[in-house]
Amino acid sequence: MNPQASNTLEEMRRQMAILQEKLHNETIVNDRLLRESMKHSYSSINRFLSVEATILMPVIIFVFPLLPLIFHLSWGPVIAIILLCLADTIFDYKVNHIKDEAFMTDDLIPTALRLQRAKRLSALQMLVSLPLTLLWFVWFIIDFFLSINYDSEALTSAAWGGLTGGCIGLVCGLIFAIQLYHKQQKTRQQVIDQINDLMAEDTLES
């Protein structure tokens, strides 16, 4: 082989090495960007879990006991809704909370399995919690009519106003819960799809 051909071959090898290094670096960058995207997408669920535990649950614990104290209602429905919400909050956190580090590990299979499990258990939670909430509200209405002091006009008027507001709040709460459920399920599926795409790329490269 003459020196010119040898130099040309060596130059081609050098350019090929540079190209492979660029492709490798682009793969690393795309991998990290996709993982950051997954982490950002799921952060909305983690934020809701924090709000649920630090704001919504304390409000329920401190506000609902005022009902029997002010309107002389039974404690049964109040204790029941507090326990139901507390169980729901604990269940939410244990099933849905995923640390940011889980999206940055080399093996994303456990994270994908956790997301699939969260989707399945969240659907089951919705099927159980909605009927329980409606049953609790029926119990609360019955207790309201049986316990309210109709001799006090001011107290009765305030109780009816509170009941009307409670009915409106229940409807709005159910609508919000259903919309939130569908939004979170969509987010989980999007992250699962992103993990599957990333794993497929890794398989092709190997």
- pLDDT tens digits for range 100-137: 888 888 788 889 999 999 999 999 999 999 999 999 99
Angle between helices 3-51 and 153-205 (to 10 degrees): 160
pTM of the predicted model, to two decimals?
A: 0.78
- pLDDT tens digits for range 148-172: 766 667 666 767 777 788 888 889 9
* Cβ–Cβ under 8 Å, residues 148 and 114: no
Residue percentage of the chain with pLDDT more than 90: 44
- The predicted pLDDT at position 144 comes to 82
Cα separation, 48 vs 116, whole angstroms? 19
* Cβ–Cβ under 8 Å, residues 188 and 119: yes
Average pLDDT value for the chain: 83
Confidence of residue 187 (pLDDT cuts 50, 70, 90): very high
| Residue tagged 């009307």 (tokens) | 164
Q: How many helices (H) and strands (E) does the chain have?
A: 6, 0
